[in-house]
Amino acid sequence: MLQVVFRSQLTKLLSYTDIQKLCLISARNNRKAGVTGFMVECGGVFLTVIEGETREAEETFNRIRHDSRHDHMEIVYSENGLERRRFGAWSMNLMFLDDDTFWQTVFGSGFSCDELLSSRALEPAFALGLLAMAYQYACAQAKIAPHPTGVRPGRIPRIGHMFRR
């Protein structure tokens, strides 16, 4: 199983509703491909993780990479050979990170989602940790298991599962 974590930026800002629609389209495409994932967004910058069988995950990443709505794409972390999905609850879901209180509570003062906007490279451990915390929060709020067993991974989220803190 392949996992790819990447940062990208929208070429033009979209409303929350438009981003939610984009997430639903991604979820449907990913479900067909057998890919799961999660993303966080702040100010038009996304940090996204996708995972699935190597071929399907690579094809999905290439589809995203060639989407003209994104630019400044940067792979932050990639790992092949995973034994199980780490973000398998949804085929794709989203959490908006534009609340500075979240950042101050979790990471301490002086840090905000604006750090995602910076041009410096994200540390892989930080990126995975941020995605994991947001994913765990979203699963808890939606009352679903973060690591589904016995069911096909990658459900399509409802709008109510796309959390804005």
The predicted model gives 28-52 an average pLDDT of 94
Q: In the chain, which ranges are E strands?
A: 2-10, 36-42, 45-52, 70-80, 94-96, 163-164
Alpha carbons within 13 A on the beta-carbon side of 136: 6
In this structure, what CATH number is given to the domain that contains residue 81? 3.30.70.100
For residue 55, is pLDDT > 90?
yes
**pLDDT by residue (tens digit) across 109-122?**
656 676 666 656 68
Please count the structural domains in the chain.
1
Range of the domain at 45: 2-164
Question: What confidence score (pLDDT) does residue 58 get?
Answer: 97
The predicted model gives 135-143 an average pLDDT of 86
The predicted model gives 46-60 an average pLDDT of 96
pLDDT band at 147, cuts 50/70/90? confident
